[in-house]
Amino acid sequence: MQPVVLITGGAGYVGSHACVALIESGYLPLVLDNFSNSSVESLRRVARITGVQPQLVEADVRDASALDSVFRSGPIHAVMHFAGLKAVGESTVQPLRYYAHNLAGTLALAKAMQRAGVRNLVFSSSATVYGEPGIEQLHEDLRCDPVNPYGRTKWMIEQMLADLAASEPGWRIARLRYFNPVGAHASGLIGEDPRGVPNNLMPYVSQVAVGRLDRLRVFGGDWPTPDGTGVRDYIHVMDLADGHVATLRHLLATPPQLLTLNLGTGRGTSVLEMIRAFERASGRAVPYDVVDRRPGDIAACWADATRAAHVLGWRTQRGIDDLCRDAWRWQQANPRGYGG
């Protein structure tokens, strides 16, 4: 029988790509999502790519009785927990909503797992937990000091999970710190579908290229970086999805442990380099204006990706040109996302 993995937030951007990678690796995803930032269409597309329709429970991850009935419905081998809110700016305006969905959501999930005796968990954390460390290459052992409510929810969850793992034998927990996930499945059938005007660089660039937005604003041309624009570690979402499968395999094959891993490429790319790569991939111009720095941004950061390589034997396979090509394929085929 194929092992079943509960995927909270599995209809979302990273979760839907993880569903594809899991199915292709012999796992059966069972998705729990409240569709607050996604649509059921992503799961239909997962079925078109893989030939397997993920089972779906429409529920809020904070709903203890919904979680209990999911765990009672049959054996669940592990949980991948993607459900949560992720907009940094919004988290400063609605912090309690972020603590409710992210922190209380994970608490409800961990308690339900404890009741059900399921102790294998892969958690979506973020490089945002590092805050403003003053260095560019970020290693997992750096002190975490997040600078916004979203980041604090992730760091609090990480600590809660560490306390849980220390308190009770048998937990296998991975805290995965993603850098900047971008791109789409190579089929162009699933991808990132932000609601409203995108906050992040890649979906904004894609929407300018496709003509849905006029011009990109480049936040700062005077950063202490080679071309003056911000530098980040952009990881292809399918590399990220593969990293989840590698993590799960590793957790299930080794003794109980708490694992903390960066998932990134280990390389930095500037905003201008990204614009040029996207122009090459799409054959379209991406007009932009350099404007003031965005509050809360840092100049440059990228992952120290050596621990994931050493522990999992996993490395990213795709580069900037691949991720621009795949993001463009998705954007061109779905100019309005899953909505049409």
Two structure tokens written together for 82: 């993607």
**Nearer Cβ to ligand NAD, position 28 or 122?**
122
Segments of 166-300 assigned E as strands: 172-178, 180-182, 216-219, 231-232, 234-236, 258-263, 269-270, 288-291
Report the candidate in 64, 61, 85 with the shortest Cα–Cα distance to residue 153: 85
Question: Which amino acid, one-letter code, is at 36?
Answer: S
Question: Which amino acid, one-letter code, is at 96?
Answer: L
117 to 156, contacts with ligand NAD by CB under 6 A?
A: 124, 126
Q: Report the 10 Å Cβ neighbour count for 195.
A: 12
Two structure tokens written together for 2: 């194929």
**Nearer Cβ to ligand WQD, position 55 or 125?**
125
Q: What's the CA angle centered on 46, arms 42 and 51, to 5 degrees?
A: 150
Which of the listed partners (ligand NAD, ligand WQD, none) does 29 bind, with a CB threshold of 5 to 8 Å by partner kind? none
Quick check: 158 binds ligand NAD (CB under 6 A)? Answer: no
Per CB under 6 A, residues contacting ligand WQD are 86, 88, 126, 128, 180, 199-201, 204, 216-219, 230, 232, 271, 294, 297
Residue nearest to ligand WQD (CB): 230
Which of the listed partners (ligand NAD, ligand WQD, none) does 13 bind, with a CB threshold of 5 to 8 Å by partner kind? ligand NAD
Two structure tokens written together for 203: 């979906």
What residues are paired with 218 via a beta bridge?
A: 290
Give the DSSP H or E segment for 80.
Answer: strand 78-81
Which of 25, 36, 50, 148 is the binder for ligand NAD (CB under 6 A)?
A: 36
Which of 62, 293, 294, 315 is the binder for ligand NAD (CB under 6 A)?
A: 62
C-alpha–C-alpha distance, residues 294 and 172, integer Å: 38
Q: How many residues does the chain have?
A: 340
Report the candidate in 317, 319, 248 with the shortest Cα–Cα distance to residue 25: 248
Which of 149, 181, 198, 264 is the binder for ligand NAD (CB under 6 A)?
A: 181
C-alpha–C-alpha distance, residues 14 and 37, integer Å: 12
Which of the listed partners (ligand NAD, ligand WQD, none) does 330 bind, with a CB threshold of 5 to 8 Å by partner kind? none
**Nearer Cβ to ligand NAD, position 11 or 323?**
11
**Nearer Cβ to ligand WQD, position 55 or 180?**
180
> Rounded to the nearest whole angstrom, what is the least distance from the CB of residue 283 to ligand NAD in the complex?
26
Report the candidate in 92, 56, 269, 310 with the shortest Cα–Cα distance to residue 179: 269
C-alpha–C-alpha distance, residues 29 and 132, integer Å: 36
C-alpha–C-alpha distance, residues 111 and 68, integer Å: 10
Which of 4, 5, 99, 101 is the binder for ligand NAD (CB under 6 A)?
A: 101
Catalytic pick among 150, 178, 204, 234 = 150
Q: Is 2 helix (H, G, I), strand (E, B) or coil?
A: coil
Of 12-20, 201-209, 246-254, 266-274, which segment contacts ligand NAD by CB under 6 A? Answer: 12-20
Specify whether 338 is catalytic: no
Quick check: 60 binds ligand NAD (CB under 6 A)? Answer: yes
**Nearer Cβ to ligand NAD, position 82 or 314?**
82
**Nearer Cβ to ligand WQD, position 104 or 213?**
213
Which of the listed partners (ligand NAD, ligand WQD, none) does 21 bind, with a CB threshold of 5 to 8 Å by partner kind? none
Residues that bind ligand NAD (CB under 6 A): 8-9, 11-15, 33-38, 60-62, 82-86, 101, 105, 124, 126, 178, 181
Residues taking part in catalysis? 150
